[in-house]
Amino acid sequence: MGKNTLNLGLQVGMASVGFDATRLYNPQSAAHSASDPAMPTASEKASVLDAGLGATWLAPNYYVGLSSAHVLAPKYNLGENFSSHIPRTYYLIAGGNINLSNPLYQIQPSTLVKYSGNVWQMDLTTRFVYNKLFNAGISWRKDDGFVFLLGASIKGFNVGYSYDWSTSAISVVSGGSHELYVTYSMPIDLDKNKRRSSKSVRIL
């Protein structure tokens, strides 16, 4: 049995926002006017201080995490007549390992909930793992579609494939998307403490 661990994280950076009015198509109509003083007429840019934070609780057979991006909800101005802000975004993740009667098989359910600007999204995923080497699973996204997953972990290599099938209106013009990834971890001995570095290749 492992130990429970609490991980905390803090991120500080800059957010850059830009708007190029010279490339805006603004047809003349009762609702549109090229002389509208609220409409920028040049390229505008703004940079603001941004931050994020999060916490994750890791237990031997489950994990729970909560994080927030754009904690400061930074405000920015583009020109003299337009201002807005970047809304806070909250993430909740949870998952676990369910050991079956046959020790070679394991089920790994997980969920991700995202909330931003009064809009929320949810992903539910279930993976079936065989002998800690091969896995297959399915993920459901609220109001969007399904993702089918296949993967393997052999001698430091992690190889995976996923097919994203949309059930939303975009499915009329999209046949789905494919993703293939390969990662490799190698042991590195630093100060006699064994650590692992990772390299990855992803094809979208």
Domain identity same for 35 and 129: no
| Predicted structure pTM score | 0.70
Asked whether the beta carbons of 121 and 93 are under 8 A apart, the reply is: no
Whether 29 and 81 map to the same domain: the answer is yes
Q: What is the pLDDT of residue 20?
A: 76
Q: How many CA atoms lie within 13 A of 106 on its CB side?
A: 17
Same domain, 32 and 69: yes
User: Is residue 158 located within the same domain as residue 78?
Assistant: no
145 shares a domain with 86: no
Please tell me the chain's helix, strand, coil percentages from 3-state DSSP, rounded to the nearest 5.
Answer: 5, 65, 30
Domain that holds residue 184: 97-204
Q: 134 and 71, same structural domain?
A: no
Q: How many CA atoms lie within 13 A of 59 on its CB side?
A: 10
Residues 118 and 176 in one domain: yes
- Domain total for the chain? 2
For 20, 33, 76, 85, the CA distances from 39, given in Å and listed in that order, are 11, 9, 16, 17
Give the pLDDT confidence score for residue 1 in this predicted structure.
Answer: 47
89 and 102: one domain?
no
The residue among 51, 70, 93 that closes a domain is 93
86 and 168 part of one domain: no
The answer to whether residues 29 and 108 belong to one domain is: no
Indicate if 63 and 149 belong to the same structural domain: no
Same domain for 15 and 54?
yes
Out of 63, 93, 123, a domain closes at 93
- List the pLDDT tens digit at each of the 204 positions of the chain: 468 999 999 999 988 888 777 676 666 666 666 666 666 667 788 889 999 999 999 999 999 999 999 999 988 887 777 788 889 999 999 999 999 999 999 999 999 999 998 899 999 999 999 998 999 999 999 988 999 999 999 888 999 999 999 888 776 677 789 999 999 988 776 665 555 555 555 555
